[in-house]
Each structure stands twice: as structure tokens, then as C-alpha cells.
A and B are shown apart, each in its own frame.
Chain A
Amino acid sequence: MNSVEFARELVESKFQVLKTEVVDQYQISFEVTRDDVHRLLSMLKQAGWIQLSYLSAIDWLEDNEFELVYIVMNWDKALHIQVRTRIDREHPEMDSVLSIFPGCKYYERECHEFFGVKFPGNPDFEKQLILEEWDDIPPLRKDFDPRAYSDAHFAKREYEDRHTVLNNQSSKQKQREARKERITTIGKGGRK
């Protein structure tokens, strides 16, 4: 039994999995309901997936949902498992997995900063981590417009239209045309 089949059997026998997706021989993803996440993660941890490699969110604007993705990794079996779950977008909130994977502390802060998902249970999920003194909606939400923000906050360089003729030099275009004309006349043996 290879590790994909092992993981699949392990998870699907005990949990109600909404969707399983085998990405390749090193990655598999399970979508579960939000209440199952903690039990599933702690079971995976006991089964050897001891490291939380990443935790982030995906913004599904049309479904009005966030999808949280937990990626756990096993150092003995070469298999990453993604645990996915959907949460409400209006009041995004998910209990912290700090008690299972202490390393989630910073990922949860990051996720709160970029998507606005709240993680009760993590004492400092609201502290700023990467963006400092952010004053707008979380920037990785799909309804945030980075260009408008950039235009409003940062000065842009203005260019004058003087790339073509500089200091009364004759423009290169004219020289080029004259040269081309000369070449065609030579090509025709001096005749016009």
C-alpha cells in the first residue's frame, strides 16, 4: 500500500470527507466540514504528519466563502496532506489549532492580516505581522483594488513627452527615413 492509499483509507474510514483529490503521488487533499478540522488534524498528527507546513485562505468571492487550507507534512512518508474547509465570508472565524500545532501561531496572524479571518484561541492573532499600520480592508481579499490603493497612497513619477527630440537634435526617425530612402535609390541603381 503506498502512502496515498494509506492516507486515504485512514481519513475516509473515520471522517465524512466532502471531496478527496489526489494531486499527485506526493500530495492529497481532503475537504471536510469545519467542525471536523480539529479532530482530523490531531489524528493526522498522531499518524505521523507532525509538521504544519502552511495555513492560508482562498477567497471565493462568488460563493461568499473563504476556504482555509492546512497543509501538513510527514517526515517519514513523502506525502503532504491538505485539509480544506469552507467558512462563511461575512463573519470569517475559525477556532485556532494552536493546541495541536503550536507553529500555526504566525500563519494565523498572517491569515488574519491578509484575509481578515479571526482565530479565537490564538492569543495574538490580531497583532500585526507583515503589513504595518494597515488602514484598509485586508489586501488579499478579491474585492480589494491594489491599483486604487497604490494611486491614492504613493506618488507616481510624471514623464514629459520629450523622449523623441532632445535639445534640438534632429529626430532619429528622420535620419532613419533618409537612410532608408538612400538605400532604396542605391538598390534601384540610382533611379528614383
Chain B
Amino acid sequence: MTKEEVDRKWWEIGDFFRRNSLWMLMYCTGCCAIELPPAMTSAYDMERLGMGPMATPRQADVLLVTGYLSLKTLRRLIYTYEQMSEPKYVVGFGSCTINGGIYHDSHAVINQLDQYIPVDTYVAGCMPNTEAVMNGFIDLMELIKTKKADGWKRYHENYEWYKKNQLDSLGSIEVKDEFHE
């Protein structure tokens, strides 16, 4: 076996374990976050898919962006996303992350999440119901299995493009507030 083949085998093994134990970081930005409690608790019980909450970005695999992102939150989201260790996946919830949803003409809310960070799968709806959320998680597992969840690789390849979009909309990405003085 060549080195590439060995690598690929190890990645396959890694992906198998990864997709069966996804730790998610919930970035509860908008109202879609209200769908997570029923998904986590006994009604739908996402633990049976091996998914559990994780408190720090460094140890999480999935970033759940639940809803609209104001410019202020987007800065923190980019920080959080870049802190996560690879491989990392992003799930966007609700029409707000897809095209701005009902906030499409707001001065404070961005319209399209995948201009700023790569998104692996979307869950559509405003808000998506809990079945759709669970279905989105299963889709994500399927994408990891078929190696299509490669958002983090796209982020490396198109880093310049993403940075440019971020700068165009945000002005600067550094967080400057009272707690960072």
C-alpha cells in the first residue's frame, strides 16, 4: 500500500468514528435555537445518534449556527469557527442563514452565511421543525461518510475569498469592545 492509500484508510476509519460521535457547539444566534431543546431531550434524543453538546470550540466537531447573524455576532462566529480543530463541520439553520429570511432588508443582519464561512448542510424552514433538524444531522453524517462534508478544506483553499467577503461586510474582523480593550 502506498502512503496515500494508508492515509485514506485512516481517514475512513477516523470518519467512521467521527460521524458516530459528533460533538456540537451550539452557537445560538437566533430564534431557531428553540428547536434544539426538543432535539436534545427525550422527545427526539439526539444522543442516540451519538451527538452531544460541547462547551468549548476546541473540542467540538460541528458548529450549529441557529438563525440570523448580526454583524456583531458574525465577528464572534468567525473567531469561534477558526478556533475549532479540524475536521470541522457547519450546519446552518433556518432561512436566515440561507438568504436572510425575514431579516433580508435589515441593516444589522447578514444575508448569506456561506459567503463568510463554508456551510456543509442547511436545514431549511423558519423555524425548521425538530424532525427537519434531526434529518439535517443524519444528512450531515451521510455527507461525512461520502466525504462531501469538506467545508473546512474549502475554507483553506478559498481562504482569500472568504476573508475578502468578511472584510467587505464587516469592515474589520477584530472584536473591539469593552472586554477586549
- Chain A residues close to B by CB (< 8 Å): 127-128, 130-133, 135-136, 139, 144, 146-147, 149-151, 153-157
> What are 23 A-to-B residue pairs whose CB atoms are below 8 Å?
A127-B178, A130-B72, A131-B108, A132-B72, A132-B177, A133-B170, A133-B171, A133-B172, A135-B171, A139-B107, A146-B105, A146-B106, A149-B107, A150-B104, A150-B107, A150-B109, A150-B111, A153-B168, A154-B109, A154-B111, A155-B111, A155-B112, A156-B111
In the complex, which residues of chain A have a beta carbon less than 8 angstroms from the beta carbon of B56?
none
Decide if B99 touches A157 in the complex (CB within 8 Å): yes
- Chain B residues close to A by CB (< 8 Å): 71-72, 75, 98-100, 104-112, 115, 165, 168-172, 175-178
A172 to B170, CA, bound (A): 43
In the complex, which residues of chain A have a beta carbon less than 8 angstroms from the beta carbon of B112?
154-157
- Residue of B at shortest CB range from A135? B171
In the complex, which residues of chain A have a beta carbon less than 8 angstroms from the beta carbon of B171?
133, 135
Main secondary structure of the interface of A (DSSP, over half): loop
A133 to B96, CA, bound (A): 23
A145 to B116, CA, bound (A): 24
A95 to B78, CA, bound (A): 39
In the complex, which residues of chain B have a beta carbon less than 8 angstroms from the beta carbon of A132?
71-72, 75, 175-177
